[in-house]
Structure 1
């Protein structure tokens, strides 16, 4: 099997070189881009297996690169690198299709673990895609009809786009209406791993709530996790 190719888009040369060296030691092939424009060019040239995108870069931002890559490939794993602490930045990145984010300064071991988890998830999705469909294309969530193949939710004349990860979350909740699902269980079933220090799950649910509510469909169960408040 060919080594995985990782595109690192980061304008700070020291951070970029450090990440590239660490990933090379992990057996990956790093491809370095100093800005957003170079990241798009190298993406089309090298066809990487995963993208690491710094949010604030000269020219095209990480948001811009993520948006354009998602138009070409809705499935490639994308991890955002951000030095910002504002919740809005993280939510926006996830709404544009990012799968995860890591806040600077980050540990290289944690970053490597996040990358490995995303690549395992992507490989699992490829294997599932090769199997006959095991579930209908549509399922209900509140007053919305979730269409897997079209990556969207429909309610009357309204529609809103969804990512594959958001659909996986909705599918898990829809299969357990009214049941309080722990954060750890959700992370393991949807992400295939549990990162206790990560707010990735919370940010995905913030993005989903912005798209599908009101009324409130996903309730927070304090001390446990979340629950689908089925109508």
Structure 2
């Protein structure tokens, strides 16, 4: 299967040899390839040239791959991101996926393997474009009705009643809702949505969870919307679908 020449990829790495050799391989495979030497440069390129997939090294100066990913997700930019790293621990991979990465590839790798990963992402975009991450409207059935989230308008309803949430609570709801059944630790949510890069003592996440539950009448003792997973974090439990 050959990827359409209209498919565009941003390749981000601080090693020029990798940009040259890997970029060349991907171009010969039918992709349009843009390159950046670090996360900060990538953000500037994306302002002018949106792409369909971002492939980024993790360890880079100025703005590394994980920071680039967090910045994009905080901006509600859900362009698929594949991270490249020499670190292979399961918790590192899990952390990146929790932050919104779409795939994770350990170095060294064969260029063909990366191409296969990119093709898989493009197939998901083209066929079920239709992942929750790209949906403008997301619906969830729960105990007291149907939650409707309009991501572009930044508005939310419980059945026919519009609900007012603080901006951070709305962002938290959106993040959990588009990753149903996944458990997210407080630390990961603070890092991803609040931008905290270090351990801090705050109940910011808990307060926003309480705000969401109160707004939707979700009983904290027996929640049907957002569940507390003891010792681990929070999970969106409503049945989610595209609007």
Q: For this structure pair, what is the TM-score category when the shorter chain's length is used for normalisation?
A: 0.5 to 0.7
The partner residue of 1:92 within 92, 95, 120 is 95
* Separation in 1, partners of 2:53, 2:44: 15
2:41 pairs with 1:38:
yes
Shift of 1:128: 7.7
Over 3 Å counting, the alpha-carbon distance change for 1:83 and 1:45 in structure 2 is same
Q: Which runs of 5+ in 1 are unaligned?
A: 152-157, 171-204, 218-227
Pair 1:112-2:118 in alignment: no
CA deviations on 1:71-121 (whole Å, 9 max, x unpaired) are: 334431111111112333222211221111000001111111110111111
The RMSD of aligned alpha carbons is 3.6
Of residues 134, 139, 142, the one that matches 2:141 is 139
What residue is the counterpart of 1:58 in the other structure?
A: 61
Q: In structure 2, list runs of 5 or more residues that go unmatched.
A: 152-168, 187-226, 238-243
* Structure 1 partner of 2:229: 214
Structure 1 residues 149 and 65: CA distance shift in structure 2, 3 A: same
| Equivalent residue for 1:12, pick from 5, 12, 15 | 15
C-alpha offsets along residues 161-214 of structure 1, whole Å, 9 cap, x if unaligned?
3374x33xx3xxxxxxxxxxxxxxxxxxxxxxxxxxxxxxxxxx6xx2647653
* CA distance 1:93–1:40, change in 2 (3 Å): same
SS of 2:129's partner is helix
Structure whose residues are more often helix by fraction: 1
- The DSSP-based 3-state class of the residue aligned with 2:101 is coil
CA contact (8 A) 2:5 2:31 kept: no
Which consecutive aligned stretches of 4+ in structure 1 deviate over 6 angstroms post-superposition?
Answer: none
Count of aligned pairs between the two proteins: 168
